[in-house]
């Protein structure tokens, strides 16, 4: 098996290089400083820019887009990156909204195969996610994670969670898909008027989920760079690293390619 190389670019955005494929997750390349609205009275300010600019990273073969409706997962420059990508794989509603000819929308547990001359094929499976408390989907919208499988291998070479809380859908993923490397979105997102309600996993949720999933390596992402992340990075690192799953953690240095 060849080495999977990851480059964390900031927020959820990570470049994956595997078997000759260049695959980007949730492209966010806008500079810091701007406040973005997320609907229903929510907003957040971006406080950190990308570790590498889009023109250095793009074009890529594939973009795995967990959802299109929030700028911390797809911003203005990120939308231009989509247009340059070979293939964009996302949710069914996002594919309809984007309307790009290179886009494939997948429902939960639906698969598609990536093929290109001179490269081993990769199968992509969409996995469920819930971007908030029960019954929040009409407000927060549809979100998917994605698993990448090499031909003939039962375990996913990589799985990205997308923005999700800890709920039974993640337990189903742990039952159905063995995972080698997990890219897990954290941050404990919440907003002032929503009180204690969370819209992504906290570090403590992440520990519990890693116990369910049991991947070889866990790479935390999407825990810094925005004001709506309410799980402080230093505390999250301590909670995760000092837990019984701490030996599985790999904290990437933004912009630095790392084999996992």
All structural domains of the chain with their residue ranges: 5-251
- The span from the CA of 259 to the CA of 237, in Å, is 20
Separation of alpha carbons 207 and 23, rounded Å: 26
Q: At what angle do helices 168-176 and 203-213 cross, to 10 degrees?
A: 30
Task: Name the stretches of the chain with pLDDT < 50.
Answer: 1
Dihedral of alpha carbons 75, 88, 135, 182, sign: negative
How much is the pTM?
0.96
Residue partners of 244: CB distance under 8 A and separation at least 6: 207, 211
Neighbours of 91 (CB within 10 A): 24
Q: Which of 97, 114, 191, 211 is nearest to 157 (CA)?
A: 114
At residue 2, the pLDDT reads 53
pLDDT at 139: 87
The confidence score (pLDDT) of residue 187 equals 96
The CATH number given to 5-251 is 3.60.15.10
- Alpha-carbon distance of 155 to 192, in angstroms, equals 40
């Amino acid at each position: 098996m060849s080495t999977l190389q990851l480059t964390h670019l900031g927020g959820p955005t990570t470049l994956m290089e595997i078997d000759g494929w260049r695959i980007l997750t949730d492209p966010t390349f806008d500079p810091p400083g701007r406040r973005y609205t997320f609907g229903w009275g929510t907003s957040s300010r971006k406080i950190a820019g990308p570790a590498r600019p889009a023109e250095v990273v793009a074009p890529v073969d594939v973009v795995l887009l967990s959802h299109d409706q929030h700028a911390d997962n797809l911003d203005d420059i990120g939308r231009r990156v989509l247009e340059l990508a070979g293939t964009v794989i996302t949710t069914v509603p996002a594919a309809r909204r984007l309307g790009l000819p290179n886009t494939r929308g997948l429902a939960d547990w639906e698969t598609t195969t990536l093929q290109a001359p001179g490269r081993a094929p990769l199968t992509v499976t969409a996995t469920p996610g819930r971007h908030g408390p029960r019954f929040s989907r009409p407000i927060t919208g549809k979100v998917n994670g994605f698993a990448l499988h090499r031909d003939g291998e039962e375990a996913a070479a990589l799985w990205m969670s997308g923005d999700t809380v800890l709920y039974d859908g993640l337990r189903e993923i742990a039952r159905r898909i063995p995972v080698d490397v997990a890219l897990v979105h954290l941050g404990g997102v919440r907003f002032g008027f929503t009180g204690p309600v969370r819209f992504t996993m906290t570090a403590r949720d992440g520990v519990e989920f890693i116990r369910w999933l049991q991947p070889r390596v866990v790479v935390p992402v999407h825990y810094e760079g925005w004001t709506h992340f309410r799980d402080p990075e230093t505390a999250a690192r301590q909670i995760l690293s000092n837990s019984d799953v701490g030996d599985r953690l790999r904290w990437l240095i933004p912009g630095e390619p790392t084999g996992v």
